[in-house]
Amino acid sequence: MESAPGVLPEGTTLSVEPSPDGTTGFALVQAVMGMAKFEVYDINLMVGGVTIQPGKGKVITIKIPVPAGYTAQFCTIYRVETDGSLTKMQAIVEDGFFVFTTEHLSLYTFVQPPKGDINSDYYVNIEDILLVRDIIFGKPADDYVLWAAGAESKADVNIETILMVRDIIFGG
Ligand SMILES: [Ca+2]
């Protein structure tokens, strides 16, 4: 955590607690994240055991280590609002950390699309197969698309890719 001098009271510490499967926070995210892989964290500022907010207009920088098994560049960080909706955060990846700024601390989640999810909507379905077909027929593929397709280069996106996505759809 970083903040400009004077933004936070003396003795403020940052608490980052995982919200595992079975918690309300986890269930909120699970309800909207489809087939994606995600982690949920409860991030709070504490002074003397009491949770505080930075306060209006006071921005702090949060750094969370990228956990094992995640490809950071293809993850998105969201703040989980009290109504269960998600707000996308502008985050960067720096030295193995997700780094983002916020004025409000609560639950945060970082989400990685499932393999085969070519259009990055967190589900693998027929739309993704149609996109693979489009790429085979010449549509460009960026780094994310190649990752989701399990391909090294655009030349590796072929009928095998379609069969792979099909297997994912059918639980393969
Ligand atoms: Ca998809």
Most confident of 26-40, 94-108, 136-150: 136-150
The rounded Å distance from CA 49 to ligand 1 centre is 43
Residue 55 confidence (pLDDT): 80
Q: How confident is the model at residue 97 (pLDDT cuts 50, 70, 90)?
A: very high
pLDDT digits (tens, 9 = 90+) for 28-81: 999 988 899 999 999 998 888 888 888 888 888 999 999 899 999 999 999 999
pLDDT digits (tens, 9 = 90+) for 118-130: 999 999 999 999 9
Extract the tokens encoding 55: 């306060």
Between residues 1 and 67, the one the model is more confident about? 67
Residues in the chain: 172
The rounded Å distance from CA 149 to ligand 1 centre is 11
pLDDT at residue 5 above 80?
no
Phi, psi of 103 (to 5 degrees): -110, -5
**Nearest by Cα to 21 from 11, 13, 31:** 31
Distance (Å, whole) CA 153 – CA 161: 12
Note every long-range contact of 140-149, with CB atoms under 8 Å and residues 24 or more positions apart, other chains counting.
143/73, 144/74, 144/120, 145/118, 147/71, 147/74, 148/74, 148/113, 148/115, 148/116, 148/117, 148/118, 148/120, 149/116, 149/118
The rounded Å distance from CA 33 to ligand 1 centre is 11
The rounded Å distance from CA 169 to ligand 1 centre is 10
The rounded Å distance from CA 139 to ligand 1 centre is 16
Distance (Å, whole) CA 141 – CA 126: 18
- Three-class SS state of 54: coil
Under 8 Å between Cβ of 122 and 113:
yes
Q: How confident is the model at residue 114 (pLDDT cuts 50, 70, 90)?
A: very high
The rounded Å distance from CA 13 to ligand 1 centre is 39
Q: How confident is the model at residue 145 (pLDDT cuts 50, 70, 90)?
A: very high
Percent of the chain with pLDDT over 70: 98
